[in-house]
Amino acid sequence: MTARIPQHPHRRFNPLTGEWVLVSPQRVERPWQGQLEELRPVEPTGWDPDCPLCPGNLRSGGQRNPPYTNTFVFTNDFPALRPQIGEDTTATDPLFRHQPARGTCRVVCFSPRHDLTLPEMSLIEIRRVIDLWGQQVAELQAHYRWIQVFENKGALQGCSNPHPHGQIWASDHLPTEAVKENDQQRGYRRQFGGLLLMDYAQQEMQEGTRLVDVHEHWLALVPYWATWPFETLVLPRQRRISHLPQLTNAERDDLAGLLKTLLTRYDNLFQTAFPYSMGWHGSPGTRDHKHWQLHAHFYPPLLRSATVKKFMVGYELLGEPQRDLTPEHAAAQLRALPVQHYRAFAARSRQTSATRRPRA
């Protein structure tokens, strides 16, 4: 059914949220005279004395980081959620409802190196990040209902510090996106008896047009219902997994490989440190929800180049999300890219050129 993709304006349904997205393939050809993002070349440095996330440095909240040598996690000095809520101020008026929100927020430094993002880290280093994610989720699940592991990469995505890091927010409530995904996955299992994302992954494997990377235990694809131009979804291939702590050693190693490959393709697309927001969605709480499949979303804002991004304004805010290029086109572009990082290739080329120069 999906093999006959229309090349005219059409809507696609997102079964994971119950929402629609408008696809307008013809708009990708329109001329662009709008805003161009500024590219700021950064001189790579392994340690920045002014960075509050580098080993040994003083943070903005007054705490000093230890001289960490691998991954490092700490409670956010300026958290959006706090473990104590004080006075219960719940209000049930249908027009003025509010409720207390209890939780905690943590910062995860991926590496002590100030100049290394995930795609440029080694597989061993990425595996350490995955292990830390799992450890943190397991610890926080004992106290909170929802654990949101995420990363905002790049100033374009609101990241306030270039040091490679992510965050973990834990809350006693289910946030809006989690509620939608929980309801949709539960409803699918009740109606069809299967697992929504496992059934979806199997069909995408058969069709192949939206696949980006396929590994032994994981796959990355541009979802049929993608909203952002180069949005991707990372899914387990072989079994149902509720939470990150449930991953086996083999699945963690394979995930490290897939993340490195996928994120290298992202950087290679426009030869820039590709900005994105990513996050893991695991089953709420410690209960083993039979309808839930662990997965990760990647939402990059870039549209045409390193300086032209997709804006969610106007119709997107007032009507429904809209995208220009089709998910199939986006997947083909990503799939065709090399898995060797462009900066590593450039560095090797410079070294080769230097060794070939004739000596005076």
Q: Which residues are catalytic?
A: 165
**Separation between Cα atoms, residue 165 and residue 150, nearest integer Å:** 9
Q: Which residues contact 284 (CB under 8 A, 6 or more apart)?
A: 145, 146, 174, 178, 182, 292
In 10 A of CB 68, how many CB atoms?
A: 15
- Categorise residue 283: left if φ over 0, alpha if ψ from -120 to 50, beta otherwise: beta
DSSP element (H, E) containing 73: strand 72-75
Neighbouring-strand partners of residue 106:
75, 168
List residues bridging with 281 in a β-sheet: 295
Non-local (6+) Cβ contacts of 32 within 8 A are: 304, 308
How many of the other CB atoms lie within 10 Å of CB of 208? Answer: 12
The answer to whether 216 and 204 are in contact (CB under 8 A) is no
Q: How remote is the C-alpha of 244 from its chain's centroid? A: 14
How many other CB atoms are found less than 10 A from the CB of residue 301?
21
Question: Which residue bears the tokens 């049929």?
Answer: 224
- The C-alpha R_g of the chain, in whole angstroms, comes to 22
Return the closest-CA partner of residue 229 out of 310, 314, 321.
310
Residues 245 and 344: their CA atoms lie apart, in Å, by: 32
**Tokens for 235?**
């899914």
Q: Which residues are CB-neighbours of 358 under 8 A, at least 6 positions away? A: none
Nearest to 104 by CA among 74, 82, 136, 137: 82
